[in-house]
Structure 1
Amino acid sequence: MSCNSSGCQSNCYKNGDQVSDSPPPPPAANNSSNLCLKCKTNSPITPGSLSGDEARFCADCFRSNIYGKFRLAVASHAMISPSDNVLVAFSGGPSSRVALQFVHVLQDRAQKNFEASKDKSLPVFGVGVAFIDESAVYPVSSDKVDGAIQDMRSVVSNLAPPTKQLHVVPIENIYASDSSDGKDRLTKLLDAVNDATGKEDLLLHLRMMALQKVASQNGYNRLILGSCTSRIACHVLAATVKGRGYSLSADIQYVDARWEVPVVLPLRDCTSQELNLLCHLDGLLLNGGSSWQSSLKTLQPFDSPPSGINGLISSFVNVLQEENSSRECTILRTAGKLTPFEFNRIPETDDCNVPLAIRRRQKRYNLKTKESISSELFCPICNAPLKNFNSLNLSSLKSCQSSRFNAACCSSCQFQIIPKDPSSMENFCSLLPQQVVDRAKHGNCSNLSLLREQIQDCLLSDSEDET
């Protein structure tokens, strides 16, 4: 029993507030602060690899956390159903590599469930892979391109069944003519654009056209891109600087169905830092991710330093990220508050092959009409939604070689891509892919129908006209 005397010198006063002068015992070797934040068992990832809570995860929990983000995005927005046939855009970078791996994991689990089920009622969705060969634009030797394609074939073929077809398509295939003529037209088209940012943006739009062509010609009904938080954050700032504020919300949602084949972004909530580390942990990048990727992925498409808006914004965001690891996520969350468009959702389906739970989830997460905005007008070059009829020429578009085409484009394309010299306009239009020309013509016709619908109440009917 301890004494109650405050003058006791025996250090036996243990029931009061008095604190002993003796030093505290050393921490145990297995202190919980040195263990994984989630499983409390394994050591966390090497400090410096990540920041925030992810840095306190072990490799297994970190891998599970990243896949969980992917799986939640796919399930919440009904990106993939059993009857779908999805095409993964594969560039060889960490983001597209992780997207391909995660889609493969989903398909592999669906295949095992199909084989284990008795009734075999739910089919397994198909997966294809597309690589757009841009060697006609990038200064890369043919040997490096062939080596990169061979590595990609090895990656795809080594994935477990079901078999996934790899589509290697030169970007000049957006032209209907032969490859040599298409390559020449593509080179001349890019040379006709004087602005460095305009060249980069035009190449990005042409790449999307090539992916859409591959998907539609081969029966795919979903296009999966590996766009992550870091890339979207750069796009948010760049689009703001370019004056694309109205169409910005269309590009940053999980789903973009304004295209013939809807585009989905299942890695939207993952940062490039996380994806790079995951590729390093799982050895997903061949040759250390340096030789062939540095040739095809990180090379500037033009022989000049990144002086355009896109390069400057990317460098700026990298500096922000170094100062505060949550900057990219903050940018995306802020932009995510913008009102989405009606096409930023997967169209609802009554397909009996789609489980009822998926259809209910689709209705739950799909945008409501009153919560979204619509735009039936789209730029023929970048397919960005247009706000009004201010720049629309309502006369018929008989030829692309006309100022009417300029009036049908968004202000960003008018400023950065379309030549300012009227004498160069006809030559520029003659070099455009037929898809762009058709989009301008069809868009103009649909705009006339839309205008008629809007003024229908003011028009006289045939009977009223007779009286």
Structure 2
Amino acid sequence: MACNGGGCESGCYKYTTTTDVDLKSSKSTVDDSSYGGNHPRHQTNTTVCLKCKATEATVFTGGDGGGRFCSDCFRSNLYGKFKLAVTSNAMISPTDKVLVAFSGGPSSRVTLQFISEMQLKAQKNFDATANRDRCLPVFGVGVAFIDESDVHPINSVVLEETVEGIKQIVSSLPLPTKQLHVAPIRSIYSTNTSDGEELLKNLLNTVSDVTGKEDLVAHLCMLSLQKIAIENGYTKLMLGSCTSRIACHVLAATVKGQGYSLAADIQYADARWDVPVVLPLRDCPLQELKILCNLDNLKIVEVFNDFHSGINGLISSFMKTLQEENPARECTIVRTAGKLTPFPFNRIPEANVDDDDLAFQKRQKKFSLKPIESLPPDSFCPICNSPMSHSNNTEPRSDLFGSACCSSCQYQIIPNEMSSIDKFYSFLPESIIARAKKGNQNWIRERIQDCLLLDEDDEV
């Protein structure tokens, strides 16, 4: 709600009638004495909701001079941001099966609530048109929780209570029923549970840099979510990354030297993964999400979201200080970073729908994104999947795997000593090894391209 009248796309500051404009004025030319003291015209501007202009404001955002709303308008405005992001970026099609990454914090809780409401509305529309020939199917929704207790040990009782709380949250959501997937982070390995736990611990022990270890855990969590999505037939992975988290990532990535790949991580959609990732809360600050959770009594059960160290911890503390001085700075950082040229994979491929699905085709055409003219990356880092340009890569390494990684992973995750490097490689999950092999094949082919015989050369 830290937007202004000119930049708000939700319409919360647009006046639709002459009466609304008159209510905005501090002076009235009409005698309102007959309405009584509770009429909106007798309320001061500082206590009236900016959206409906008729109800007393009870929610204040953005600090001094920020937004003020009644509870209903605040909720509808926040939901409007979510829905606009979903529809204008074609995040979901009627045939999709969406997996919501759920950590139990305010961001993922609101994401799950809003996507459930969208699904419920789609279900009602489907039921209302069930007797017609051209009714669209209803997209499916699932929930995934990654257990990081192998990395961040917590009391087993606390973990059990957390999982039970998540089950209650998912079961309380409106129909259609959502399937819940709870998986330990060690499940990224294809081996049994005990071997996976040991491999994970050994892998993290080879990483000496605190920031690198924390980033590696985040990458493994993403791979775990991708694995759940692939194995269960999901077509989209929805994350609860909000404005506040993205703003921290912008600063952290800049410090870590990830400028080339930064544009890839902050867009609404990211199709470089096997299951495309979408960020519907990109325009929603954490402060507003916490307020909504309090207003609607949305249960929070997060246990793994406070483990920040190294550069990530410093940036998180720095952002909190900035927010205290100026609550709008998170939005400013994200808007500024949003001007970076996105990659071709930062849009969802057009959905395949039947010719009879005319309503959906019109909606897709209305919100279709313009073609992106930026050049595709040369390759992707096998560890963090960041796009890379070899022309801007760091100095060559003796090991092919290290040469295929981005500079951030080379300096912060991959060990420097050769004896430790071999151990590091032996503990990597198979999904990372497979991506590294594919990347190395492309990397080698580029360097011997001049020596290869083309098909037309064979015919000479």
- TM-score class, shorter-chain normalisation, is 0.7 to 0.9
Q: Provide TM-score, normalisation by structure 2.
A: 0.85
Q: Provide TM-score, normalisation by structure 1.
A: 0.84
Q: 1:131 to 1:344 in 2, by over 3 A?
A: same
In structure 2, give the amino acid aligned to 1:72.
L
Q: 1:392 to 1:196 in 2, by over 3 A?
A: closer
Displacement of 1:30 in angstroms is: 2.6
- Root-mean-square deviation (CA, aligned residues, Å) is 2.5
In structure 1, give the amino acid aligned to 2:405.
C
Q: Please name the residue that 2:160 is paired with.
A: 146
C-alpha separation in 2, matches of 1:393 and 1:220: 39
C-alpha separation in 2, matches of 1:123 and 1:85: 11
- Deviation above 3 Å: which 4+ runs of structure 1? 26-29, 52-55, 389-395, 446-452, 458-467
5 Å-filtered alignment, 1:437-456, equals 437-448=433-444
In structure 2, give the amino acid aligned to 1:277.
I
- Is 1:96 aligned to 2:126, yes or no? no
C-alpha separation in 2, matches of 1:450 and 1:355: 42
5 Å-filtered alignment, 1:39-438, equals 39-47=52-60, 50-51=62-63, 55-117=67-129, 118-119=131-132, 121-285=135-299, 289=300, 292-293=301-302, 295-298=303-306, 300=307, 307-352=309-354, 355-362=360-367, 364-365=368-369, 367-370=370-373, 372-388=374-390, 403-438=399-434
**Aligned partner of residue 56 in structure 1, secondary structure:** strand
Q: Please name the residue that 2:18 is paired with.
A: none
In structure 2, give the amino acid aligned to 1:420.
N
C-alpha separation in 1, matches of 2:346 and 2:157: 41
In structure 1, give the amino acid aligned to 2:107.
S
Residues 121-166 of structure 1 deviation map (CA, whole Å, 9 limit, x = unaligned): 2000000000001111112011111110001000001111111000
Q: Please say which of residues 128-137 and 344-353 is displaced more in the overlay.
A: 344-353
C-alpha separation in 2, matches of 1:464 and 1:178: 50
Residues 191-218 of structure 1 deviation map (CA, whole Å, 9 limit, x = unaligned): 1111110011000000000000000000
Q: 1:103 to 1:451 in 2, by over 3 A?
A: farther
User: Is 2:150–2:186's contact at 8 Å kept on the other side of the alignment?
Assistant: yes
Displacement of 1:53 in angstroms is: 6.7
C-alpha separation in 2, matches of 1:296 and 1:463: 57
Q: 1:255 to 1:461 in 2, by over 3 A?
A: closer
In structure 2, give the amino acid aligned to 1:347.
P
Of structures 1 and 2, the larger Rg is shown by 1
C-alpha separation in 2, matches of 1:277 and 1:463: 66
Residues 317-350 of structure 1 deviation map (CA, whole Å, 9 limit, x = unaligned): 1111110111011111111111100000001233
In structure 1, give the amino acid aligned to 2:382.
P
Displacement of 1:373 in angstroms is: 2.9
C-alpha separation in 2, matches of 1:255 and 1:115: 30
User: Is 2:396–2:403's contact at 8 Å kept on the other side of the alignment?
Assistant: no
Q: Please name the residue that 2:6 is paired with.
A: none
Q: 1:267 to 1:391 in 2, by over 3 A?
A: closer
Q: 1:387 to 1:283 in 2, by over 3 A?
A: same
Displacement of 1:221 in angstroms is: 0.4
Displacement of 1:71 in angstroms is: 0.5
Displacement of 1:272 in angstroms is: 0.4
User: Is 2:96–2:139's contact at 8 Å kept on the other side of the alignment?
Assistant: yes
Q: Which runs of 5+ in 1 are unaligned?
A: 1-25, 301-305, 396-401
User: Is 2:119–2:139's contact at 8 Å kept on the other side of the alignment?
Assistant: yes
C-alpha separation in 2, matches of 1:466 and 1:357: 49
Displacement of 1:57 in angstroms is: 0.8
C-alpha separation in 1, matches of 2:277 and 2:64: 30
Q: 1:462 to 1:104 in 2, by over 3 A?
A: closer
Residues 421-445 of structure 1 deviation map (CA, whole Å, 9 limit, x = unaligned): 1111000110110111000001222
In structure 2, give the amino acid aligned to 1:92.
G
Q: Which runs of 5+ in 2 are unaligned?
A: 1-36
